[in-house]
Structure 1
Amino acid sequence: MERIPILQMGEFLLVTIQVDMDDQIALRLQDDLSKRIYATSARGVLIDISALDMVDSFIGRMIATIAGLSRLMDARTVLTGMQPAVAITLVELGLELPGVSTALNVDRGMQRLRELVGQA
């Protein structure tokens, strides 16, 4: 089964989703990411979805769940690179992403994480 790489950048974790995610990959990412947050005491998670052209309700809920798990482990979550079609889909599905900040790109997302954890 394919795994999405999780890179550590100081006290932040960077996840760049470069494949079409199915439910199994999403669940594996959720599990892998929660373990990495715990193991590294990460203070922030940046998830770049710029390669995703569309999402379904399961993937949207998975992103919200990751943010919730991160908060419980004292880490903040920033989502970057959301395509307009993805944003429209999330709104049409009525999905909210509580606890998830957004940024246009990875550079701005890292700046947002620094602000959220008090490093700005």
Structure 2
Amino acid sequence: MERVPILKLGDVLIVSIQIDLQDQGVLALQEDLADAVVESGARGVIIDISAVEIVDSFIGRMLATIASISRVLDAETIVVGMRPAVAITLVELGLSLGGVRTALNLEKGVALLEDRDNARAVAVPR
């Protein structure tokens, strides 16, 4: 079984899914990502799905589950690079990606996390 690499950039973890994930690969990714968030103290997780052409309900639920796990571990999840066909499929399947923010590309995903951090810094009284 091929593992999806998890890259660390500052306090953000980046996952770029470049292979067709089977059910076991998805479960391994969830586990690996949860471990990586804890070990690194990451504040954000960005999942790049630009190479994903087809999604099913299991993959859609996986994205929502990863977001929930990350949120419990105090990290925000952003999915980037979603193709229009993937978005249409998720909507047709009736899948709501609650807790998952989206951005068009990696650069915009990182900017979303920076905006969140800037908003937190302003909201914290000194």
Q: What is the TM-score of this pair, normalised by structure 2? A: 0.92
- Percent identity, aligned pairs only? 57
Q: Distance in 2 between matches of 1:17 and 1:113?
A: 20
The equivalent residue for 1:77 is 77
Report the alpha carbon displacement of residue 73 of structure 1 after superposing the two structures with TM.
0.4
Q: Paired residue for 2:124?
A: none
Unaligned runs of 5+ in 2: 122-126
Identify the residue that residue 10 of structure 2 maps to in structure 1. Answer: 10
Instruction: Please report how far the alpha carbon of residue 114 of structure 1 lies from its aligned counterpart in structure 2 after TM superposition.
Output: 1.4
What's the offset of the Cα at 1:115?
1.6
Match of 1:50 in 2: 50
Structure of larger gyration radius: 2
**Residues in 1 aligned to 2:5 and 2:39: alpha-carbon distance in whole angstroms:** 15
Instruction: Write out per-residue CA displacement over residues 16-44 of structure 1, whole angstroms, 9 at most, x where no aligned residue.
Output: 00001111111110000000001111000
Structure 1 gap segments, 5+ residues each: none
Aligned partners of 1:76 and 1:117 also within 8 Å:
no
Distance (Å, rounded) in 2 between the aligned partners of 1:23 and 1:117:
34
Q: What residue is the counterpart of 2:20 in the other structure?
A: 20
Moved over 6 A (4+): none
Match of 2:31 in 1: 31
RMSD across aligned positions (CA): 1.2
Letter in 2 for 1:76: E
Alpha-carbon offset, residue 117 of structure 1:
3.1
Q: 1:118 Cα shift?
A: 3.1
Structure 2 distance, partners of 1:18, 1:51, is 5
Q: Distance in 2 between matches of 1:58 and 1:110?
A: 26
Please give the alpha-carbon distance, in whole angstroms, between the structure 2 residues aligned to 1:118 and 1:76: 14
2:95 pairs with 1:89: no
TM-score, scaled relative to structure 1: 0.96
Instruction: Give, in whole Å, the separation in 1 of the partners of 2:78 and 2:117.
Output: 12
